Amino acid sequence: MSTRFSFSLQATDGRARSGVISTPRGEIRTPAFMPVGTAATVKAMMPESVAATGADILLGNTYHLMLRPTAERIARLGGLHQFMNWQKPILTDSGGFQVMSLAELRKLTEEGVTFRSHVDGSKHKLTPERSMEIQKLLGSDIVMCFDECPALPADHTRIAESMRLSMRWAQRSRDAFGDRQGHALFGIQQGGDVEELRAESAEALKGIEFDGYAIGGLAVGEGQEIMFQVLDYAPGQLPVDKPRYLMGVGKPDDIVGAVKRGVDMMDCVLPSRSGRTGQAWTRRGQVNLKNARHADDPRPLDEQCTCPTCRHYSRAYLHHVYRAGEMISGMLLTWHNLHYFQELMQGMRDAIAAGRFDAWEEDFHATRDQGDIERL
Ligand SMILES: [Zn+2]
């Protein structure tokens, strides 16, 4: 197994790409979807079940873990992989985005962000240097630069100032990260929905040099149309020979549109969060298991799906356990949803390798447009 972090681009079809990221903890097939394990768990799933869905890598959240149980405690207990029993690669975010969305009494300065914990009100400070230290304590395989971004829409001045601050923080993150063989540091492109600011950000990051490049500041309220407009140029501003990671995306059609535009990696809480609220994602779109139409339906969620939920349980059962507030409801729906998202990625990887992404995409949309199966 490789002792270094590397990316090998294996096929392209239009702007869509497939490849493999090699790390000492295993290979990540791209395009990759990363389930989110916020608090050292993908909620309602055992780690081996997450792996069984086809996930090669998980995302962990610096902000949550630094507050509870703390990065120092996780380091004493052998690091995040050992702590949560997940031996494959882990990517951690920098904490910057979540501080801005979750913490209380935030104060942003050139040095970093001070804030109060949403858990217990305790006071904390995150800087590029501290974020690198925390992600090292966690033992993260892919470390993200500390950054900051506005919600969209935002005015040009706000987007530009925020992007330039994030680029200064990217240099400080690079300096603090140092040289850690087998671990990668990704820079994060900012610039909102302004093409020239995205270009300026990409140039700044390329000047610093990173192992991979994220497209940040999207999926922050701008909607799919604007996101796709940005993705029509943003991936092309980044190096062709490094992985490109679109943060916080998304719904299945967002994911397909992003891959089509040259994105290699994504993460989102959607499949797991939806699973806990009675929502399933299938080839034929979204299915709400709360709905009474499922109460007597002996059919599986998706007859073609090979996940344990679809092989062993009926819609009627899924409806019942959701209504009864049983824990297995979140477990079964999360498993199916994660399986579906991974199957989607595999379908795209195969289609790109075979040079038939357009036909695959057409079929993806046509199947979804049929909507859920007819009621009995
Ligand atoms: Zn299924």
Q: Give me the percent of the chain exceeding a pLDDT of 70.
A: 99
Are 287 and 279 in contact by the 8 Å Cβ rule? The answer is yes
Whether 93 is a known active-site residue: answer yes
Q: Determine the distance from the C-alpha atom of residue 175 to the mean position of all C-alpha atoms in its chain, rounded to a whole number.
A: 25
| Res 101: pLDDT | 85
- Check whether 146 has a pLDDT greater than 60: yes
| Res 103: pLDDT | 83
- Check whether 275 has a pLDDT greater than 60: yes
| Residue with more model confidence, 1 or 335 | 335
> What residues pair up with 34 in beta bridges, in sequence order?
267
Are 49 and 307 in contact by the 8 Å Cβ rule? The answer is no
| Residue with more model confidence, 2 or 344 | 344
Q: Rounded mean pLDDT of 172-194?
A: 97
Average pLDDT, the chain: 96
Q: Rounded mean pLDDT of 29-42?
A: 97
Q: Rounded mean pLDDT of 259-282?
A: 97
Catalytic residue among 93, 141, 297, 372: 93
Residue 336 annotated as part of some ligand binding site:
yes
| Res 1: pLDDT | 55
Rounded distance between C-alpha atoms, residue 271 and residue 206, angstroms: 33
| Res 59: pLDDT | 98
| Res 234: pLDDT | 98
Residue 95 annotated as part of some ligand binding site:
yes
Handedness of CA 135, 131, 38, 253 (dihedral sign): negative
Distance 343 CA to ligand 1 centre (A): 10
Catalytic residue among 141, 267, 302, 372: 267
> What residues pair up with 18 in beta bridges, in sequence order?
11
Gyration radius of the chain's alpha carbons = 20
- Check whether 72 has a pLDDT greater than 60: yes
Residue 93 annotated as part of some ligand binding site:
yes
Distance 332 CA to ligand 1 centre (A): 9
Residue 305 annotated as part of some ligand binding site:
yes
> What residues pair up with 90 in beta bridges, in sequence order?
58
Are 10 and 353 in contact by the 8 Å Cβ rule? The answer is yes
Q: Rounded mean pLDDT of 68-73?
A: 98
Per-residue pLDDT tens over the stretch 96-134:
898 988 888 899 999 999 999 988 999 999 999 999 999
Distance 271 CA to ligand 1 centre (A): 12
| Res 150: pLDDT | 85
Distance 221 CA to ligand 1 centre (A): 29
Write the secondary structure of the chain as one string of H (helix), E (strand) and C (coil). Answer: CCCCCEEEEEEEECCEEEEEEEECCEEEEECEEEEECCCCCCCCCCHHHHHHCCCCCEEECHHHHHHCCCHHHHHHCCCHHHHHCCCCCEEECCCHHHHHHHCEEEEECCCCEEEECCCCCCEEEECHHHHHHHHHHHCCCEEECCCCCCCCCCCHHHHHHHHHHHHHHHHHHHHHHCCCCCCEEEEEECCCCCHHHHHHHHHHHHHHCCCEEEECCCCCCCCHHHHHHHHCCCHHHCCCCCCEEECCCCCHHHHHHHHHCCCCEEEECHHHHHHCCCEEEECCEEEECCCHHHCCCCCCCCCCCCCHHHHHCCHHHHHHHHHCCCHHHHHHHHHHHHHHHHHHHHHHHHHHHCCCHHHHHHHHHHHHHCCCCCCC
Residue 254 annotated as part of some ligand binding site:
no
Distance 353 CA to ligand 1 centre (A): 25
Rounded distance between C-alpha atoms, residue 246 and residue 235, angstroms: 9
Whether 369 is a known active-site residue: answer no
Per-residue pLDDT tens over the stretch 240-250:
999 999 999 99
Per-residue pLDDT tens over the stretch 187-202:
999 999 999 999 999 9
Per-residue pLDDT tens over the stretch 212-266:
999 999 999 899 999 999 999 999 999 999 999 999 999 999 999 999 999 999 9
pTM, rounded to two decimals: 0.97
Distance 339 CA to ligand 1 centre (A): 7
Per-residue pLDDT tens over the stretch 296-309:
999 999 999 999 99
Residue 96 annotated as part of some ligand binding site:
yes
Structural domains of the chain ordered from first start = 6-268 (3.20.20.105), 275-369 (no CATH)
- Check whether 47 has a pLDDT greater than 80: yes
